[in-house]
Structure formats: structure tokens, C-alpha cells
Structure 1
Amino acid sequence: MGFGLAIEPQLWALLFTMVRVGAAFIAAPVFGAVAVPLPVRITLSGAIGILAMNAQNITAPSEVFALTTFVAVAGEALVGLAIGFVLQIAFAAPLVASELIGTSMGIGFAQAIDPVNGASSPAIGQFLSILLTLLFLSVDGHLILVDLIVRSYDAFPPGNWVAPERLRAIAFFGGYAFLAGLLLALPVGFLLLCLNLVVGMLSRSAPALNLFAVGLPASLAVGVVALIAAMPAMGDYMMVIVHEVLEMTAKLVFG
């Protein structure tokens, strides 16, 4: 009987801590991927929850079934979702860039199932998303995310909600996905725009010219060559995206 009473508060505190950690992992791009099995997510949430309990002073609500407890759990879930959603915004930039590039190249119809979110996305978008994920992992972004989740208990103790100005900052940061996607697609998109101008002038000078027989293969060839040539610059800008989103996540946590 004594052993059961001693372990029950610790188990409840762990489950309460796992709410914030699990919510952040659900919204985060790497941990929340569809390819990651649910038992793995639960195990990771439990492990990080134990780490947070040992590193921070986390006090769980005294009563399990109470209105204040449900409000506190909702607040913990909101904090975790806000942390993970900021990262998800930046990882939407390759999808925006792929839509611009794929439409200009004429392969916008080339869709495939994205293993990250389980939805259909352009093939170029999958390539850019995987590249951004590898760069994110190469700079230990996943470890920084775990560190921010653990340290978030200092800035947002259990029972405190995210301030409205920080939620407004997240909403304004949503425009960064379109800005980063446009800048990411700018080198390839500029060359394809120049090609379309050339093809348009050819069509005006030679109306009998079949644009579908000339323009589509030329757009595809120029797009592939432009992607190969612009890949170093795109990789450098992806590193900028990773640093920007990690900085924004730190600002969300620490203000």
C-alpha cells in the first residue's frame, strides 16, 4: 500500500510533464513526422519528461479531476504546440518554393506522398524538405529544441498561459514561410522567368512555332540545370532559415 501511494504522485507529475513535451513533439517537423511511430513518440516524451522533472522544479496539480487541472493541462498543451508550430512554419518554406519552381518548370503535376506530414506535395518540395531536415539535424537543431522545451519551464511555469503578444508574434512569423520560400526559389525562378520571356518573344516572331514542343522541354532542362547550379546558394539560405527559426523559438520561450 505504501509503495503504491509513493509512486502515484510521481507518475501523475510525469504524465503532466509529458503534456507539454508531447504537444511540442506533435507540432515539431522532425518528431511529429508520420513516419515516426506513436510508441516512439510516447517513449521520447516520457524520457524528456523525466529529464525536465530532474532539471526543473515542476509541480503538478494536486487534484487529477478538477477544473483547474484541465485548465492547467490546456495551458501546457498550448505552450508545447506554440514551440513546435514555430518550427513548422519555417519547414513550410521549401513547399512554397517547390510550388513556384514546379509551376515554372511545368512539373507542378508531379505529386507524391510526403513522408513528413503524410499529405501530397510536389516532388521538388520533398527533396528540399529532406535537405532542410538534414541541415536542421546537422546543427543539432533537435537537441536545441529539447533544451528549449526543458528550459521553457522557467519562462512558463505550469499554470501560466502564453502571453497574447507572443501568440501575435507567432502569427506575424507565419509570413516568414512565404518570404523564405520566395527567396529560396528566387535563383531558379529568375532563370525560368527569363526563359519564359525568350519563349514569348519567339512566339511573337514565329507564330507557327509550337510552344508546347519547344517551351516545355526547354523549361524542364533549364530548371534542372538551374537547380544544380543554385543548390549551393539554396543550401546556404536553408542554413539561414534554420538559424532564424531557432532564434525565433528562443525568443518565444524567453521573450
Structure 2
Amino acid sequence: MITLSSAELNAWLVSFLWPLARILALLAAAPVLGNTAIPKRVKIGLGVFITLVVAPALGPLPGVEPVSPEGLLILGQQIIIGLAMGFAMRIVFSAVEMAGEIAGLQMGLGFATFFSPQSEGSTLVVGKFLGLLATLVFLSVNGHLLMLSVLAESFTVFPISAEPFSAGGWRILADWGGKIFEAGLGLALPVVTALLIVNLALGILTRAAPQLNIFAVGFPITLMVGMVALMLSLPYFVPVVEQLVADTLQIMMDVARGANRSLSSSSGASP
């Protein structure tokens, strides 16, 4: 008869439960894989499969009870680090959708909105279009596979332990959050610049011919110019998104490395 002690059962449980928590948290927060259109059973099954692959390669885990306060603290840490890494990748798609929001408002398409189940709110059509285009670029460069590879590597740079977080990883994530405005404005800049010139020209035309109905003439002109500027800027859109995805993969690793208190203290002590 095979007998198992409670310590062995706890060791098997934590070797599966703690990595699963980090993996499921990333799958819940990451784009594409965390889309609401994907059934929850598929996400859980994918998380279990990844855990079964990653768990045997993990080092020794803390010998604590999974339901003890220390064990629950470790579980919470894994959830937080997984959410942080997934949120870092979602920032890229937020920046792209922000660019579409800015361009759509400048083109006069502020009324062209629909309900997005992803954000649970109204989204401009242009922003949704650029978001779908960014998703295709993300899949074409195997961004989902690279993201899972970084997740597996994060268990090396930030192993499962009872040590508290360091503030370095959260500072990196907060700084990366500013990329939403920088990248969003940069992607929308060609359309905004073209429409700014058109609006200046329409303003001069209105002053020269006050009897001209600017509302009847200006809207189709700005819409047409905005569409043309958006079409001409799309070839330059793909390389920018690819670079943002590559930078985000490095940021995800930096967040995990910066959250490791031992690595942060050693790097801070080195000259």
C-alpha cells in the first residue's frame, strides 16, 4: 500500500497551485489570450497545461502550508506578478486604441461608436480597427508564444518564495504606463497633423468667404483627408507595433526581475 504524508501532499499541491496562480493571472490580464470571447474553460485548460510543462523545471519551493497565512501570501504574490506582466503587454494595445480614439475624434467620427465587451464601454470604430490590426500584428510575430516564453522564464528571475516584493518592478511598470500617451500620440500624429492643416485652411476659407456653410463643407473634407492620411500611415504602423511588442517583452522580464527583492538589493549595492 502506498502511503503519503501530509507534507508530501502539501509539496505536490504547492508545486502545482502557485505556478498555476501566476499563469492564470497573466492569461486573465494579457491581450488576445485574455479576450472575453475565449471561454473560461479554454483559459483554465491552457493554464493547467502550461503549469504541467513549467512545474517540473521549477526549483525548490518554500516548505509552507498552502492554507497558512504565509502560503496565502505567496499565492497572492503570484497572482499580482502575473497580473503585472499581463498588464504590461495590454498597455501596447491600449496605446494603439488610444491612437485610434484621437484620430477618430479629429476626423469627426466621435459619434461612430459601439459597445466593446472587452472594455465594457463604448469604443470608437477607428480605435477598434487599429486594435484589431495590432492583434493581427501581435499574432503574426508570434507575440503570444513569446509572451508565454517570458512567463516561463520569469520563474527563474523571480522564483516562488515568501520574500516580499521590491518596489523596483512596480516603478518600471508605472513608467511603462506612460507609454500609452507617448505611443498613442505618435501613432495618431500623421492623421492629426493632416487634419490640423485642413482645419487651418478651412478657417482661412471661412474668413475669406463668410457665406460659406463650413459645417456642410468641412465635415466631408476632414473625413476624406483623415481617411487618406490613415491609409497612407498604415504601412508605418506595423513596424511601430512590432517594436512596441518587443519592448514590452523586455519590460515584462524587467518587472519580474525588479520585483525580486534580492536582485534589486544586489543591483542597488553594485557601483
TM-score, L = length of structure 2: 0.87
Q: Secondary structure at the match of 1:145?
A: helix
The residue identity in structure 1 corresponding to 2:37 is A
Give the equivalent residue in structure 2 for 1:247: 250
Give the equivalent residue in structure 2 for 1:109: 111
Q: Secondary structure at the match of 1:133?
A: helix
Alignment of 1:12-161 (within 5 A): 12-57=14-59, 59=61, 61-114=63-116, 116-159=118-161, 160-161=163-164
Matched, 1:234 2:219: no
**Cα distance in 2, alignment partners of residues 184 and 67 from structure 1:** 47
**Cα distance in 1, alignment partners of residues 117 and 247 from structure 2:** 24
Aligned residues: 255
The residue identity in structure 2 corresponding to 1:185 is A
> How big is the alpha-carbon RMSD for the aligned residues of Structure 1 and Structure 2?
2.0
Give the equivalent residue in structure 2 for 1:208: 211
Q: Secondary structure at the match of 1:112?
A: strand
What are structure 1's unaligned runs of at least 5 residues? Answer: none
Out of 166, 170, 176, the position equivalent to 2:169 is: 166
- TM-superposed deviation, 1:217: 0.6
Alignment of 1:217-228 (within 5 A): 217-228=220-231
**Cα distance in 1, alignment partners of residues 62 and 122 from structure 2:** 41
More displaced, 52-61 or 87-96?
52-61
Out of 159, 176, 179, the position equivalent to 2:179 is: 176
Give the equivalent residue in structure 2 for 1:198: 201
**Cα distance in 1, alignment partners of residues 244 and 132 from structure 2:** 14
- TM-superposed deviation, 1:61: 4.9
Give the equivalent residue in structure 1 for 2:188: 185
Q: Secondary structure at the match of 1:121?
A: strand
Q: Secondary structure at the match of 1:92?
A: helix
22 and 168 in structure 1: CA distance in 2 versus 1, 3 angstrom threshold: same
Sequence identity percentage:
36
185 and 90 in structure 1: CA distance in 2 versus 1, 3 angstrom threshold: same
117 and 2 in structure 1: CA distance in 2 versus 1, 3 angstrom threshold: farther
Q: Secondary structure at the match of 2:45?
A: helix
TM-score, L = length of structure 1: 0.92
140 and 185 in structure 1: CA distance in 2 versus 1, 3 angstrom threshold: same
**Cα distance in 2, alignment partners of residues 245 and 105 from structure 1:** 30
**Cα distance in 2, alignment partners of residues 60 and 90 from structure 1:** 35
**Cα distance in 1, alignment partners of residues 190 and 9 from structure 2:** 59
What are structure 2's unaligned runs of at least 5 residues? Answer: 259-271
